[in-house]
Structure 1
Amino acid sequence: MIDLRPATPDDAQALLGIYGPYVVTNAVSFESLPPTPKEMRARITAAGDTHPWIVACDGESGLVLGYAFAKPTRPGNAYRFSVETACYVAGELEGQGIRRTLYSALLSTLTAMNYTQAISQLTMPQDKAILLHEAMGFRRAGVYREVCFKNGQWIDVGVWQRELSQPGTPPDEPLGFAATGIVRS
């Protein structure tokens, strides 16, 4: 069984153990070097109550299997109703439904928090990630051509977008993560 819980700064090392291989072995991540444990801890802390980080753990052992998070789409108060999302699962656990479970909970939680749009940027080609995002309700919103240079090559970055809720005018202000907790769909 998979348990979901909010990430804490103490999860930094475990999350880095999952994320680090994505950075060094392929072009999925936009970073050239994995962050340090201190940097990962700072990212979790900086998310505060406004942008959830959710961890999937093995229900028996407590071992961290993956994580999903949201971050601001762009700086500026006018962007406060949208988020950028990402999800990482330990490499040997790919294809076991953990990413779908995490992403589903993240998107449901973001909807409960009154966010209106979720954006995901994917290096291309990445057929499995595209299929997952489209299965989760994302639609292709555009492509940045040759904007990422990694592993000796130029990479296109695709943008996928998912409406979380119908935005009102004015929209409801986002709620804190503590107010909603993790929402499982």
Structure 2
Amino acid sequence: MNTQDIAPATGQLDTIRVRPSAEDDIVAIAAIYGHHVLHGTGSFETEPPNEDDMRRRRADVLARGLPYLVAEGSDGAILGYAYASAYRPRAAYRNTAENSVYVRHDVNGRGIGRLLLQELLTQCETLGVRQMVAVVGDSANLASVRLHEAFGFRLVGTLRSVGRKHGRWLDTVLLQRALGEGDSTDPNEGG
């Protein structure tokens, strides 16, 4: 797993470790996501899911054999999380995943999202995922768009005004990146 020292607001170095999520992380994961649902536009949900909902969502990701990661500070606090999910349920999409990355609001901009996304991409490539899609809520969410672009994602489209939250219309930005051999070989033929 990934480990990196970052400088939090206190100016002291903190070692951040990216690891697989555990059942005990659900309370922190739900709190992080709940804040983004209530105050942000990265998610188009308008009511935060409860801990049981988040537990079921995590179990669904893990049941599909996909990674669900957390970033943990040296004090044991969960600072963010990321996971890959099926892009769409139909069989033809089986080699494509969608990523989600959420960082605790009070530690944004400190490289935690980068650590999470880097490890997520590495694990998905190892699992044989060939395409990764990012569905970024709100075209004004430049931090998320730039994070994905820094990892080689390219803009493939913007769906204009497809959501309404916090009294305004919101776009969805679609970004995509090939993993491994991408579409250059047939993963079902072993090459």
Normalising by structure 2, report the TM-score: 0.85
For residues 172 and 34 of structure 1, what CA distance do their matches in structure 2 show? 39
Specify the alignment match of 1:129 in structure 2: 144
Specify the alignment match of 2:59 in structure 1: 45
Picking from 38, 41, 45, the partner of 1:27 is 41
Alpha-carbon shift at residue 168 of structure 1 (Å): 5.1
Cα pair 1:111 1:164 within 8 Å, conserved: yes
Specify the alignment match of 1:147 in structure 2: 162
3-state SS of 2:187 partner: coil
Q: How does 1:97-112 map to 2 (within 5 A)?
A: 97-112=111-126
CA deviations on 1:65-106 (whole Å, 9 max, x unpaired) are: 111111110111111100000111111111111110111000
Specify the alignment match of 2:187 in structure 1: 171
Structure 1 residue ranges without an equivalent (≥5) = 174-185
Picking from 89, 92, 109, the partner of 1:75 is 89
Alignment length (residue pairs): 172
3-state SS of 1:129 partner: helix
Picking from 114, 120, 141, the partner of 2:128 is 114
Show structure 1 runs of 4+ deviating over 6 A.
none
Alpha-carbon shift at residue 30 of structure 1 (Å): 1.3
For residues 106 and 188 of structure 2, what CA distance do their matches in structure 1 show? 40
Alpha-carbon shift at residue 27 of structure 1 (Å): 1.3
Cα pair 2:62 2:68 within 8 Å, conserved: no
User: Which structure has more RCO (C-alpha within 8 Å, separation ≥ 6)?
Assistant: 1
For 2:116, give the aligned amino acid. L
Alpha-carbon shift at residue 7 of structure 1 (Å): 1.1
Specify the alignment match of 1:180 in structure 2: none
Picking from 174, 179, 187, the partner of 1:159 is 174
Normalising by structure 1, report the TM-score: 0.88
Aligned-pair identity (%): 37
Structure 2 residue ranges without an equivalent (≥5) = 1-14
Cα pair 1:83 1:115 within 8 Å, conserved: yes
For residues 157 and 18 of structure 1, what CA distance do their matches in structure 2 show? 21
Alpha-carbon shift at residue 26 of structure 1 (Å): 2.0
